[in-house]
Chain A
Amino acid sequence: METENKPQPPLLLTGETLLDGMLSGELADLTKYDADIIRLLKKHLMGASIRSRAGQELADDLVDLAQQRVAKTRPK
């Protein structure tokens, strides 16, 4: 028994695809969201497997981000 070739409907958003979909969609709007923060979210939470310390590592990177931005604005 064979299927007919029909155009596929858009993929359903589930827990498996929600964040990945948002990172490629809504959160990609750089007028609303910080690009560096979105980059870090992608680094730590996107993909098939997530490290067990992803939350802490994400926080560490966010702190580093703030410190790097301060370093750039530090008076010489």
Chain B
Amino acid sequence: MLDVENNKVLVVSRNLTTAADDPLPSQLLPLLSAAPAHRVLRQHDLRRFVVDMEPGDKYAELSRWLGLERLREILGHLKTAENALRKASPDRELQERQRDLALHTNGEVTTLDPDAVYSWCRAQSGRFLEGPPTISTRADLAAVVERLRVKRNSLITSTANVERVKARDRARQHVTDILGSGGSLARARKAVAEELISATRLETIRSTASSPQLAPVWTVAERFLRTPVDRCPICQTDWERTEAGSQDKALAAIRESLVGMEAYREAEELAAHTTKEADAAVVALSDQVTGLLRQCHTLVLSSTPQLAPLEEALCDRLREHLAARDRERLLSGAGAQLEGLLTERVLKDLDGLPLPGEPTEVGQMDDLVQQLTGLDQAMTRLAELARLAIEYRRVEKGFSAAVDAVQRRAASMVTDVVEQLRADVEKIYAKIHPDGTVPAIHIDPDTESRALLLRVDFHARGRTVPPAGYLSESQINTLGLALFLSAVRLFNQQFPFVFLDDIVSSYDVEHRTNIVDVIAEEFDRFQILLTTHDRMFFNMLRARLSDKSWQFETIQGWSLEDGPQRRSTLPPEQEIEQLFKAQDRYEEAGNAVRRFMEEWLDRACARFGAYTPHRPDEKAYERTLFDFWEPFLKRIGELQADFRNIVVTSPSYQRLKTHPLINYYSHHRPDPYTWGAMGDVKYVWENFKQFRKLFNCASCGNELRYDKDNKKVYCGCGKGFLSQVTTADPSQSSREGAEPEVGGG
């Protein structure tokens, strides 16, 4: 395949074996996705879409052509985004924060109105302070809160509850110091864990180091043995007779031992250090717990009995000289219990601690401070949320606008494309069956039920029926062919290629002619591979398409080794010209001319409605020149006057009409045709070429058509029939090739 735009060639080849799997080559996948409509049509496929496929399968096919799955995916994601965006809207938090306003103002302020909120704060604060304070900003509010706290504390300290309040505050502080993220419990856990790690490492090294306590001895020995001596200084034995074998080996062994001892010494130092740290952390923790317990005793908290044994475990046992592993285990258990007790019991006891004799204003001021603090937080957040809501709505609106545009376009796309397809199918159908009643074709996809109904109007407009059972076989095949060609033309624009495999078997000559016209006129920018076993159709194609750069081949034979043997076939006119060049092949040339004339006349008779009877014998379908020529001339005499006059007055018509060879060879004879000389053949040929031109449009060059209903000769280009007649000089009429121009319309 040639990519014309990029001038690249894609070559994909593979070995095929009968009955073996033939997976699609991956190089073709991008190509096929760009051209979703089927590219190969066989005779038996003509009915497939129209009759054989279920509505669901038809929808699946159309969906593939239209890329509806991709569209569905995109619309699904847009819907998901819309829903997620709606859920993320700040409106919900906005409402909750406004409820906070109402909550903190005892229902008196329900919307974000700073003036109203501050007014409420002034009124409430004024109950406890000497008159309503000035509150118009957050800073003013914070200042009032501080004044209230000071006032509240002064009320407390003036009563006998001061010691209980202090004890409570100290207890709360102890709890915070113990439980905080950097609190004493966390620090103790960390230190004890590090102690365990270093102790474990020390054990490991100890197991490998040899006699580490002798490190100082080995150090001295190493220093001594750096100087060569004759014998071991310890046992006074010659080195050769010692276990080491030499002074150097002894020195190396001592140094190796010293390395291991060094590692051991370091591990020992580290273990000692971590133990010291763990001791300090445990002491700090136990001091905090002891302090807490003291305050709990003072306050007579209900959780005190549970706290006491934990204090004992942490203070007494943890401080004993325990192995690292044991200490870690003890702290783990006691620490977890302590954490749970403080969180679940002690803090709650402290919060609910009764303080008899406390002035009621203290509680009220506590409540007011809490309300004012909550109001400040709510207003701050509300202001932020209000700004966020504005931007959020802008984004939401902008997104909705884009989504609406996509949805509108998607809805209209399906309708538009299906209508485009439908109109094109009708157009191609009408070109193939111009004489019959063209049924209005309905293609109705239902995206909800994923079904597609293909129906036609039958007998009356609006009376829609399925094609099967109402249309003839030929009409059904034409509908299938039109659908296929329209789909290819519409959806495979990026890959304009189509393969038509023997599709005309069920058509007569007239309709085959029309199919050839469709191929030639409607698909001129397509690369088309067309196969046929029908010689007549093959010749028809050659005659019609030889001037449109088509190549023709015939398969001459087949062998197992080489496969089909193809031979290029020249267009018939070129073939005839080639025969003329060989001066002695006039019989062949004559037969070629005769066959050409017969085939052209066969089509022309069908096109213009000339009645050509078949022979009532065993060779009923082998009609000769005479079988076509006479009826055609008769028919010409019945055509509209202006066109008829052009034809009958043309020199070529006059010459051929009375030529003895035509008449001679028009009669059926059992013997093969014999031509007198090449000159005879050339004369007939040249005049026939001129005669043939009379039936081609002068504007576009296509063959003229005949509207049987209106009895009118016209051209498919729609330019209109313009007869342009030049007066022929009788002396000029004898010259070959001199012909008037003829327009079609």
User: Which of B76, B82, B550 is within 8 Å of A2, CB to CB?
Assistant: B550
Give complex CA distance A19, B525 in Å: 28
In angstroms, Cα B667 to Cα A45, docked, is 74
**Of the residues A8, A41, A65, A73, contact of B493 by C-beta under 8 Å:** A8
Chain B residues closer than 8 Å to A1, beta-carbon distance: 527-530, 549-551
- With a cutoff of 8 Å between Cβ atoms, the chain B residues found around residue A45 in the complex are 74, 77-78
What residues on B are CB-neighbors of A26 within 8 Å? 405, 409
Give the complex CA separation of A35 and B396 in angstroms. Answer: 13
Alpha-carbon distance A55/B78, docked complex (angstroms) = 6
Given known A1-B550, A73-B387, contact A14–B67 (CB-CB < 8 A): yes
In Å, the complex CA distance between A12 and B489 comes to 10
**How many of B's residues come within 8 Å of A, CB to CB?**
58
Give the total number of A-B pairs whose CB atoms are below 8 A apart.
Answer: 147
Report whether A4 and B525 are in contact in the complex, using a CB–CB cutoff of 8 Å.
yes
Is B417 interfacial (CB 8 A cutoff)? yes
- Interface of chain A residues 20 through 76 with chain B (CB within 8 A): 22, 26-27, 32-34, 37-38, 41, 44-45, 50, 54-56, 58-60, 62-63, 65-67, 69-70, 73-74
Shortest beta-carbon distance, A53 to chain B, in Å? Answer: 9
Which residues of A have CB within 8 Å of B551?
1-2
Q: Are A14 and B65 in contact (CB under 8 A)?
A: yes
What is the predominant secondary structure among interface residues of chain A facing chain B?
helix
- Check B165 for interface membership: any CB of A closer than 8 A: no
Provide the residues of chain B in CB contact with A55, threshold 8 Å. Answer: 76-81, 84
Contact pick for B491, options A14, A37, A44, CB 8 Å: A14
Question: Which of A3, A38, A54 touches B525 (beta carbons < 8 Å)?
Answer: A3
Q: Does B423 contact A (CB under 8 A)?
A: no
The B interface is mostly helix, strand or loop, or mixed, namely helix
A7 to B81, CA, bound (A): 41
Q: Is the CB of A59 within 8 A of B387?
A: no
User: Chain A contacts of B388 at CB under 8 A?
Assistant: 66-67, 70
User: Which residue of A12, A13, A41, A59 is within 8 Å of B88 (Cβ)?
Assistant: A59
Residue in contact with B548 in the complex, picked from A4, A8, A14, A19, CB distance below 8 Å: A4
Q: How far is the CB of A16 from chain B (nearest CB, A)?
A: 3
Those of B26-43 within 8 Å (CB) of chain A: 33
Contacts of B85 in A (CB 8 A): 59, 62-63
Contact assessment for A22 and B405 in the assembled complex, using a CB-CB cutoff below 8 Å: yes
Known: A33-B402, A37-B398, A37-B402. A17 touches B77 (CB 8 A): no
Q: Please state if A3 and B78 are interface contacts (CB–CB under 8 Å).
A: no
Inter-subunit contact A2/B549 (CB<8 Å)? yes
User: Which residues of B sit under 8 angstroms from A5, Cβ to Cβ?
Assistant: 4
B580 within 8 A of A: no
In the complex, the chain B residue whose C-beta lies closest to that of A4 is B524
Q: B402 near A3 (CB under 8 angstroms)?
A: no
Residue of B with least CB distance to A14? B67
Q: Flag whether B73 is at the interface (Cβ < 8 A).
A: yes
Chain A: minimal CB distance from B540 (Å): 15
Per-position binary interface string of chain B over residues 523-551, scored 1 when its CB falls under 8 Å from any chain A CB and 0 otherwise: 01111111000000000000000001111
CB distance from B510 to the nearest CB of A (A): 24
Are A63 and B88 touching (Cβ within 8 A)?
A: yes
Q: Which residue of A has the minimal Cβ distance to B400? A: A37
Closest-CB distance, A70 to chain B (whole angstroms): 5
Interchain CB contact under 8 A, A14 and B417? yes
Please judge, given known A-B contacts A37-B399, A50-B74, whether A59 and B494 are in contact too, CB under 8 Å.
no
- Tell me if B77 and A58 are in contact (CB < 8 A): yes
How distant is A48 from chain B, measured CB to nearest CB, in Å? 9
Contacts of A13 on B, CB cut-off 8 Å?
Answer: 413, 417
The answer, yes or no, to whether B270 is at the interface (CB within 8 Å) is no
Interface, chain B (partner A; CB < 8 A)? 4, 33, 65-74, 76-85, 88, 384, 387-388, 391-392, 394-396, 398-399, 401-402, 405-406, 409-410, 413, 417, 420, 490-491, 493-494, 496, 524-530, 548-551
Known pairs A5-B4, A15-B410, A37-B399 / 11 extra A-B pairs, C-beta < 8 Å: A2-B549, A2-B550, A11-B493, A14-B65, A18-B71, A27-B405, A34-B399, A37-B402, A45-B74, A55-B78, A59-B83
Q: What are some 24 contacts across the A-B interface (CB < 8 A)? A: A1-B549, A2-B527, A2-B551, A3-B496, A4-B524, A8-B525, A11-B493, A13-B413, A14-B67, A16-B33, A18-B74, A33-B401, A33-B402, A34-B399, A34-B402, A45-B74, A45-B77, A55-B77, A55-B78, A56-B80, A58-B78, A66-B388, A66-B391, A66-B395
Closest 6 CB pairs of A and B: A55-B80, A15-B67, A15-B71, A59-B84, A16-B67, A34-B398
